[in-house]
């Protein structure tokens, strides 16, 4: 894009003469924006999604596409006993009670409705089997059969398109037009040639994610991740927060984020934490473990980054390799040459570059019925041949954002909600409390899909009532 403009607020009572109008405009065509667009079209409301890329992919397409939801039709059909309260408790427990309860409740209820409705519209959800992510008490990760965010996005785009949602790519929203009463009157968006076009709308939903791709904001707000690889989408540039700051909006948990302690390096791919939950371990370059890995993959990012060389080795064996090969990201990493194999502990030590006796002592601790000094309990030992993959800690996405009420309406610093401005997904405050260790696996898409659906329901209700 030529001469990309910084996000700004334009104060005006009306849009320029001749500006086209739409009832609802959505900024960003990731999973949040597309889910909201689908819900609005289902309610018979016209919507235009403005997306900076040629088509909406965002971090949603880079993700594994695992969406937690409870009491869904699919769970019930599989005989999985779950409840909204159980999921709410799991989210709150992982966040040490610091997540905004009104949002956790609203997202959990809304995610069930969204998944059930999207399933009826043809999305072939399955539930991830074989392991539980840290903090989840039952199997509730809803996924596409391919277990990728890109296939989730392809299907969401298809449904949105079939329902008649308009999605305009190569449209970077750079101006938010707001009147003296803080009522949004429209937006200005830049086209590839740099020209700004205008759109007037009755309601605006910010679905443009957080600030993980804005290195200056990461340095300011998440200094511990300033040097970490960012594995999300470059469009996570903090636009929503920059508008929020200019408008005097309230922010929540800006120091919260999802990290990942298993980012394959140098190949650059996600290695799922499933291998940890089923008995694998991480050792540093000295051949020593350094934390209870089962605490969670998000907080593991900082633990890994603080090891020598900012790396760790994921160590696992043949049964875990089989499990890992069911994940497309892992298969990609293996195809790129990341997998190393050793018959003996001595060979494994040569791969890690550590003292064989140290590594042997580390692996001797990994045995059924043993709880180590860091509090991790093991149910099995690792058997040769051993496998190893080098990883580092990465920043996946930010969890702080615009404060929103239980309908996803943004809130000013004086506590008042704005009449027609909504935020959801990564643009809004998340449900992970503070820091990195409050992130329960799936909180990202819970907020995006649950929040997008929720915001759309409220907007639809208001438009129908008008
Ligand atoms: C590697 C990886 C794996 C992950 N795995 C999971 C997982 O399995 N489960 C889970 O819950 N979470 C996961 N996450 C987190 C999850 O991807 C995000 O929380 C989620 O995708 C956020 O969705 P979103 O729609 O808010 O944002 P996005 O998907 O990032 O969409 C935002 C969209 O807005 C567009 N945009 C931005 N600014 C503008 C603008 N000014 N004008 C127009 N368009 C704009 C962007 O181009 C983008 O398309 C993962 C993240 C990563 C990086």
Residue 396 Cβ inside 6 Å of ligand 1? The answer reads yes
Residues 296 and 377 in one domain: yes
Last residue of a domain, one of 351, 371, 395: 395
Residue 99 lies in a domain: no
Residue 267 gets which letter from DSSP?
A: T
Report the alpha-carbon distance of residue 197 to residue 49 in Å, rounded: 14
Residues 55 and 174 in one domain: yes
Per DSSP, the residues of 62-96 read HS---EE-SS-HHHHHTT----HHHHHHHHHHHTT
Residue 59 Cβ inside 6 Å of ligand 1? The answer reads yes
Report CA(177)–ligand 1 centroid distance (Å): 24
Last residue of a domain, one of 343, 364, 395: 395
The dihedral built from the CA positions of residue 140, 146, 150 and 152, taken in this order, carries a sign that is negative
CATH number, position 290: 3.90.700.10
- Ligand 1 atom at minimal distance to the Cα of residue 208: 34
CA dihedral 340, 344, 346, 347 (to 10 degrees): -30
Residue 128 lies in a domain: no
Report CA(209)–ligand 1 centroid distance (Å): 6
Residue 208 Cβ inside 6 Å of ligand 1? The answer reads yes
Residue 101 lies in a domain: no
- Which residue from 415, 407, 424, 418 is spatially nearest to 459, judged by alpha carbons? 407
Residues 49 and 192 in one domain: yes
Query: Tokens 């980012």 map to which residue?
Result: 263
Task: Say what the pTM is.
Answer: 0.95
- Cα dist. 69→132, 153, 395, 458 in Å? 14, 18, 24, 20
Residue 71 lies in a domain: no
Residue 78 lies in a domain: no
Number of domains in the chain: 2
Residues 314 and 447 in one domain: no
Residue 277 Cβ inside 6 Å of ligand 1? The answer reads no
Report CA(407)–ligand 1 centroid distance (Å): 20
Residues 248 and 262 in one domain: no
Residue 115 lies in a domain: no
Residue 52 gets which letter from DSSP?
A: S
Residue 297 lies in a domain: yes
Residue 447 gets which letter from DSSP?
A: I
Report the alpha-carbon distance of residue 18 to residue 302 in Å, rounded: 52
| Integer Rg of the chain from CA | 23
Ligand 1, from 397, 436, 447, 452: best to mutate by most atoms within 8 Å of Cβ?
Answer: 397
Residues 282 and 387 in one domain: yes
Two tokens at 141?
A: 């990760």
* H-run or E-run covering 370: none
Last residue of a domain, one of 374, 395, 416: 395
Residue-level pLDDT at 388: 98
Residue-level pLDDT at 56: 87
Residue 4 gets which letter from DSSP?
A: P
Range of the domain at 353: 257-395
Ligand 1, from 65, 440, 444: best to mutate by most atoms within 8 Å of Cβ?
Answer: 444
Report the alpha-carbon distance of residue 458 to residue 263 in Å, rounded: 38
- Which residue from 127, 158, 162, 157 is spatially nearest to 144, judged by alpha carbons? 127
CATH number, position 202: 3.50.50.60
Report CA(417)–ligand 1 centroid distance (Å): 25
Residues 57 and 205 in one domain: yes
Tell me the three state secondary structure of residue 332.
helix
384 neighbors 317 (Cβ within 8 angstroms): yes
Residue 211 lies in a domain: yes
Q: Any bridge partners for residue 377, and if so which?
A: 371
Residues 269 and 346 in one domain: yes
Ligand 1, from 27, 30, 239: best to mutate by most atoms within 8 Å of Cβ?
Answer: 30
45 neighbors 37 (Cβ within 8 angstroms): no
Report CA(426)–ligand 1 centroid distance (Å): 7
Report the alpha-carbon distance of residue 442 to residue 430 in Å, rounded: 11
- Which residue from 289, 272, 397, 267 is spatially nearest to 323, judged by alpha carbons? 272
Ligand 1, from 5, 60, 236: best to mutate by most atoms within 8 Å of Cβ?
Answer: 60
Residues 372 and 263 in one domain: yes
Residue-level pLDDT at 218: 97
Report the alpha-carbon distance of residue 201 to residue 422 in Å, rounded: 13
How confident is the prediction along the chain (466 residues), in pLDDT tens digits per residue?
A: 668 889 999 999 999 999 999 999 999 999 999 999 999 999 999 999 999 999 989 999 999 999 999 999 999 999 999 999 999 999 999 999 999 999 999 999 999 999 999 999 999 999 999 889 999 999 999 999 999 999 999 999 999 999 999 999 999 999 999 999 999 999 999 999 999 999 999 999 999 999 999 999 999 999 999 999 999 999 999 999 999 999 999 999 999 999 999 999 999 999 999 999 999 999 999 999 999 999 999 999 999 999 999 999 999 999 999 999 999 999 999 999 999 999 999 999 999 999 999 999 999 999 999 999 999 999 999 999 999 999 999 999 999 999 999 999 999 999 999 999 999 999 999 999 999 999 999 999 999 999 999 999 999 999 999 8
Residues 275 and 372 in one domain: yes
Q: Residue 158: phi, psi to the nearest 5?
A: -60, -45
Residues 199 and 311 in one domain: no
Report the alpha-carbon distance of residue 171 to residue 22 in Å, rounded: 16
Residue-level pLDDT at 131: 86
Residue-level pLDDT at 3: 80
Residues 301 and 187 in one domain: no
């Amino acid at each position: 894009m030529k001469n990309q403009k910084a996000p700004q607020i334009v104060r005006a009572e009306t849009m320029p003469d001749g500006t086209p109008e739409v009832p609802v405009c959505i900024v960003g065509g990731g999973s949040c924006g597309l889910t909201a667009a689908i819900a609005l079209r289902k309610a018979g409301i016209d919507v235009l999604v403005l997306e900076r890329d040629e088509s909406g992919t965002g971090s949603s397409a880079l993700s594994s596409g695992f969406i937690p939801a409870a009491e869904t039709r699919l769970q019930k059909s599989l005989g999985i006993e779950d409840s909204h309260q159980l999921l709410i408790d799991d989210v709150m427990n992982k966040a040490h009670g610091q997540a905004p309860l009104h949002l956790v409740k609203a997202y959990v209820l809304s995610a069930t409705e969204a998944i059930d409705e999207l399933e009826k519209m043809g999305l072939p959800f399955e539930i991830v089997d074989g392991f539980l992510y840290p903090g989840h008490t039952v199997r509730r990760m809803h996924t596409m059969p391919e277990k990728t965010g890109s296939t989730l996005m392809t299907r969401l785009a298809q449904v949105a398109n079939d329902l008649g949602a308009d999605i305009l790519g190569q449209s970077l929203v750079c101006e938010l037009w707001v009147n003296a009463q803080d009522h949004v009157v429209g937006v200005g968006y830049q086209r590839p040639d740099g020209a700004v076009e205008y759109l007037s709308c009755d309601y605006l939903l910010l679905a443009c994610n957080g600030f993980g791709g804005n290195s200056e904001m990461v340095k300011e707000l998440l200094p511990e991740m300033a040097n970490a690889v960012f594995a999300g989408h470059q469009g996570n540039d903090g636009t929503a927060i920059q508008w929020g700051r200019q408008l005097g909006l309230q922010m929540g948990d800006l120091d919260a984020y999802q990290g990942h302690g298993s980012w394959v390096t140098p190949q650059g791919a996600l290695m799922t934490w499933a291998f940890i939950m089923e008995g694998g371990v991480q050792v540093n370059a000295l051949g020593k473990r350094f934390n209870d890995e089962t605490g969670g993959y998000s907080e593991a990012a900082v633990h890994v980054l603080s090891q020598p060389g900012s790396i760790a080795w994921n160590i696992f064996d043949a049964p875990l390799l089989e499990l890992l090969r069911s994940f497309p990201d892992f298969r990609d990493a293996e195809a790129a040459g990341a997998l190393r194999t050793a018959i003996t502990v001595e060979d494994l030590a040569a791969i890690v570059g550590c003292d064989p006796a140290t590594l042997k002592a580390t692996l001797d601790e990994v045995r059924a019925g043993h709880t180590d000094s860091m509090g991790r309990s093991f149910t099995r030992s690792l058997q040769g041949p051993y496998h190893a993959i080098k990883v580092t800690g990465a920043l996946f996405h930010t969890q702080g954002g615009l404060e929103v009420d239980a309908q996803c309406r943004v809130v000013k610093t004086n506590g008042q909600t704005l009449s027609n401005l909504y935020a959801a997904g990564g643009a809004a405050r998340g449900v992970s409390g503070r820091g990195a260790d409050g992130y329960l696996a799936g909180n990202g898409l819970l907020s995006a899909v649950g929040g997008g659906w929720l915001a759309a329901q409220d907007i639809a209700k208001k438009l129908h009532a008008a």
